[in-house]
């Protein structure tokens, strides 16, 4: 790796050709989020729509990828079909290590393939193979076909693919990454679909030199020890994030039945412990991660209606998918939850968006705003069979209702009614009904992700209503996350990778300039990302909050409408001011 330059593979799908570009600016952009923003500035256009064929799909890794544990994420940047604004989605699997072992810091995919195709890249090859026979295939079938078609470098190979949802332009379409990870939110799958790209194979087919001297192995062992021999990461491997289900239910912060409740005794069916006892098959891990937080459960599937022969299907689960296909839909049996998630995996939709959308559709049915004429299958809280079928309809856009719902719950609600109870915080809510700070933070967040800020955590520790303190927390917390997202570290390791430790890692890896300037660079990256988001149409004052969020009761009591509105206003003002100051620099 050159400490000053990025090595980027730029692919034009229209011609099936690519070129390697060396781009200056590592000390200003680091990698990951910062690099993705820099590349969007160079190759994208904030004012053209997301489905302009020239808009890039960017996959970027960080300077420490392949050198230190848990530097396992890839940042996927694109203009989102959900709101037509610049955004990012993050995923691990083998993607980051494969890009690094192929010798690149980023892949930029532009143009549109003439027919449905798979892109296959490595350090010395680029191939665009026609895969018209995969049209309409789900993500699991597509993955199997791709593994047969692209056999080389299986241990160092990453496979990204879409299902039917991406092909039809569903704004909830995600990209499946190596089966158990996803570029989940904001519709990256539809961007691939629009580019006629069914899959991307990244072959990490070469080596790279490790830093010389004794400092690197010494520091590596120190970090490795921190993540494996201390309690810092244990919880992620053991029960994993599903442990949060009971914790949040206990403090009246778990969304139930389209957020009509925040706690329910029926939690016992879907706690992290119960899932581990009943449905857990094994743990998995992203490449380069010794923690292994990926929990993989199983469901039985009958071969056909008549036979008594079954096959077992493996389905990954985390806190968010369980909230979305479980409590939010009133489904309280682990196997039932996994059956719904299995369908979402196949059609390849973001489970959080899908679950929240179907929860809204259920309440809209109860209230008589829609009927089976639209939903085609009876929807009732707790009825897993109906939800599995509805998830298939949503992902395949089987009728006008599901096609509208696939563009976002609020899009459907504007047409059919029920905006008040559409649980949308900029995008379908993440599973944290913790209170005012989270609601303000997610609705105005850069990725509309709970990991954009620590708002959900702040709510759980602060009952006081101090707007200045809360907004300052959100603003001060963000650069550190930008720094980690530029490295690109798994955010579960944010307790391990302090700024000091990251500086040490950069120093021994040969990036001294970045190591000595991390605070400043992180702030610049934060500004750059927001600048692109605003330039592509983000207006904080236009984001509305459905009434449902004002009617909740959490552990802090009833949601305080004045506090929530003031928080939103002030947080929006501070982000806007940040962008203005950056424009003047
Ligand atoms: S902790 Fe989990 S998500 Fe993070 S890198 Fe490891 S396996 Fe991947």
Q: Cα of 108 to ligand 1 centre, how many Å?
A: 25
Say whether both 104 and 248 belong to one domain: no
Dist CA 181 CA 410 (whole Å): 26
Last residue of a domain, one of 148, 179, 203: 203
Higher pLDDT, 568 or 452: 568
Q: Check whether 2 has a pLDDT greater than 90.
A: no
**pLDDT the model gives residue 450:** 84
Q: Ligand 1 pocket check: which of 68, 75, 292 to mutate, most ligand atoms within 8 Å of Cβ?
A: 292
Say whether both 23 and 165 belong to one domain: yes
Dist CA 89 CA 171 (whole Å): 13
**pLDDT the model gives residue 153:** 78
**If we measure between CA atoms, which residue out of 99, 112, 105 comes closest to residue 50?**
112
**pLDDT the model gives residue 232:** 80
**pLDDT the model gives residue 308:** 82
The atom of ligand 1 lying closest to the CA of 92 is: 8
Atom 4 (ligand 1) nearest CA: 490
Say whether both 251 and 191 belong to one domain: no
Say whether both 566 and 451 belong to one domain: yes
Q: Ligand 1 pocket check: which of 92, 93, 287 to mutate, most ligand atoms within 8 Å of Cβ?
A: 92
Dist CA 220 CA 231 (whole Å): 18
The atom of ligand 1 lying closest to the CA of 292 is: 7
Q: What is the pLDDT of residues 408-461, one digit of tens each?
A: 999 999 999 999 999 999 999 999 999 999 999 999 999 888 888 899 999 999
Last residue of a domain, one of 146, 179, 203: 203
Atom 1 (ligand 1) nearest CA: 293
Q: What is the pLDDT of residues 106-152, one digit of tens each?
A: 999 999 999 999 999 999 999 999 999 999 999 999 999 999 999 98
Say whether both 496 and 550 belong to one domain: yes
CATH number at residue 16: 3.60.9.10
Say whether both 338 and 438 belong to one domain: no
Q: Check whether 307 has a pLDDT greater than 90.
A: no
Tell whether 409 is covered by a domain: no
Q: Cα of 394 to ligand 1 centre, how many Å?
A: 29
Q: Which domain holds residue 98?
A: 5-203
Tell whether 353 is covered by a domain: yes
Last residue of a domain, one of 183, 203, 223: 203
Say whether both 247 and 164 belong to one domain: no
Q: Cα of 288 to ligand 1 centre, how many Å?
A: 9
Q: Cα of 95 to ligand 1 centre, how many Å?
A: 12
Say whether both 387 and 305 belong to one domain: yes
Say whether both 432 and 398 belong to one domain: no
Say whether both 95 and 34 belong to one domain: yes
Ligand 1 in reach of 293 Cβ (< 6 A): yes
Percent of the chain whose predicted confidence (pLDDT) is above 90: 91
Atom 2 (ligand 1) nearest CA: 293
Domain total for the chain? 3
Tell whether 383 is covered by a domain: yes
Q: Cα of 67 to ligand 1 centre, how many Å?
A: 16
Ligand 1 in reach of 488 Cβ (< 6 A): no
Q: What is the pLDDT of residues 368-416, one digit of tens each?
A: 999 999 999 999 999 999 999 999 999 999 999 999 999 999 999 999 9
**If we measure between CA atoms, which residue out of 451, 412, 490, 448 comes closest to residue 185?**
448
CATH number at residue 286: 1.10.569.10
Ligand 1 in reach of 70 Cβ (< 6 A): yes
Q: Check whether 305 has a pLDDT greater than 80.
A: no
Residues 239, 502, 180, CA angle at the centre, nearest 5°? 35
Q: Ligand 1 pocket check: which of 32, 68, 70 to mutate, most ligand atoms within 8 Å of Cβ?
A: 70
Tell whether 95 is covered by a domain: yes
Ligand 1 in reach of 68 Cβ (< 6 A): no
Q: Cα of 153 to ligand 1 centre, how many Å?
A: 22
Ligand 1 in reach of 92 Cβ (< 6 A): yes
Say whether both 395 and 467 belong to one domain: no
Q: Cα of 496 to ligand 1 centre, how many Å?
A: 13
Report the pLDDT averaged over residues 274-295.
95
Q: Is the pTM of this model over 0.95?
A: yes
Tell whether 215 is covered by a domain: no
**pLDDT the model gives residue 1:** 67
Q: Tell me, rounded to whole angstroms, the distance of Cα 421 from its chain centroid.
A: 24
Tell whether 278 is covered by a domain: yes
95 secondary structure, DSSP code = H
Dist CA 446 CA 427 (whole Å): 11
Dist CA 331 CA 325 (whole Å): 7
Say whether both 505 and 370 belong to one domain: no
334-347 and 139-149 helices, crossing angle to 10° = 60
Tell whether 60 is covered by a domain: yes
> Between the CA of residue 239 and those of 68, 72, 233, 549, what are the distances in Å?
24, 21, 11, 29
Q: What is the pLDDT of residues 53-106, one digit of tens each?
A: 999 999 999 999 999 999 999 999 999 999 999 999 999 999 999 999 999 999
CATH number at residue 532: 1.10.599.10
Q: What is the pLDDT of residues 314-346, one digit of tens each?
A: 999 999 999 999 999 999 999 999 999 999 999
Asked whether the CA dihedral 290, 157, 98, 59 is positive or negative, the reply is negative
Tell whether 419 is covered by a domain: no
Report the pLDDT averaged over residues 217-225.
97
Ligand 1 in reach of 451 Cβ (< 6 A): no
Ligand 1 in reach of 289 Cβ (< 6 A): yes
Q: Check whether 585 has a pLDDT greater than 80.
A: no
């Amino acid at each position: 790796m050159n400490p000053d330059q990025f090595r980027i593979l730029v692919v034009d799908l229209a011609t099936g050709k690519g070129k390697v570009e060396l781009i200056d600016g590592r000390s200003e952009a680091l990698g990951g989020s910062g690099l993705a923003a820099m590349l969007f500035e160079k190759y994208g256009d904030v004012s053209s729509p997301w489905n302009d064929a020239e808009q890039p799909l960017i996959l970027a890794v960080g300077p420490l990828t392949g050198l230190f544990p848990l530097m396992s994420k890839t940042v996927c940047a694109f203009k989102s079909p959900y709101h037509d604004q610049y955004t990012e989605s993050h995923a691990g699997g083998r993607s980051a290590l494969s890009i690094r072992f192929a010798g690149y810091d980023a892949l930029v995919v532009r143009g549109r393939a003439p027919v449905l195709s798979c892109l296959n890249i490595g350090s010395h090859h680029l191939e665009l193979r026609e895969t018209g026979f995969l049209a309409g295939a789900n993500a699991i079938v597509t993955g199997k076909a791709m593994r047969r078609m692209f056999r080389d470098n299986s241990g160092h190979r990453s496979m990204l693919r879409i299902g039917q949802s991406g092909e039809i332009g569903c704004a909830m379409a995600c990209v499946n990454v190596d089966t158990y990870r996803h570029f989940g939110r904001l519709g990256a799958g539809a961007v691939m679909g629009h580019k006629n790209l069914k899959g991307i194979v990244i072959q990490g087919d070469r080596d790279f030199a490790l830093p010389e001297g004794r400092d690197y192995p010494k520091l590596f062992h120190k970090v490795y020890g921190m993540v494996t021999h201390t309690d810092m990461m244990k919880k992620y491997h053991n029960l994993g994030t599903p442990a949060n289900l009971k914790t949040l239910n206990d403090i009246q912060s778990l969304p139930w039945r389209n957020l009509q409740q925040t706690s329910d005794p029926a939690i016992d069916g879907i706690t992290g412990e119960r899932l581990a006892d009943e449905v857990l098959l094994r743990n998995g891990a992203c490449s380069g991660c010794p923690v292994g937080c990926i929990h993989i459960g199983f469901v039985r599937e009958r071969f056909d209606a008549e036979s008594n022969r079954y096959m077992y299907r493996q389905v990954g689960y985390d806190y968010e998918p369980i909230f979305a296909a479980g409590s939010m839909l009133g489904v309280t049996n682990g196997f039932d939850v996994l059956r719904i998630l299995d369908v979402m995996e196949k059609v390849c939709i973001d489970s959080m968006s899908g679950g929240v959308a179907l929860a809204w559709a259920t309440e809209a049915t109860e209230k008589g705003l829609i009927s089976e004429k639209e939903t085609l299958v009876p929807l009732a809280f707790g009825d897993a069979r109906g939800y599995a079928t509805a998830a298939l309809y949503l992902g395949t856009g089987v009728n006008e209702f599901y096609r509208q719902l696939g563009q976002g719950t609020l899009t459907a609600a504007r047409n059919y009614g029920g905006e008040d109870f559409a649980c949308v915080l900029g995008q379908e809510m993440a599973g944290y009904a913790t209170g005012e700070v989270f609601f303000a933070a997610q609705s105005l967040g850069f990725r509309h992700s709970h990991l954009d800020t620590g708002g959900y955590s702040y709510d759980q520790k602060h009952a006081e209503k101090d707007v200045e303190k809360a907004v300052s927390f959100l603003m001060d917390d963000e650069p550190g996350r930008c720094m980690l997202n530029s490295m690109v570290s798994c955010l579960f390791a944010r307790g391990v990778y302090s700024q000091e430790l990251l500086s040490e890692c950069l120093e021994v890896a040969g990036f001294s300039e970045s190591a000595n300037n991390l605070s400043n660079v992180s702030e610049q990256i934060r500004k750059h990302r927001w600048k692109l988001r605003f330039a592509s149409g983000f207006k904080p004052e236009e984001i509305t909050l459905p009434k449902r969020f004002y009617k909740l009761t959490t552990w802090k009591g009833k949601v305080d409408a004045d506090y929530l509105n003031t928080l939103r206003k002030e947080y929006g003002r501070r982000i806007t001011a940040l962008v203005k100051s950056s424009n003047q620099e």
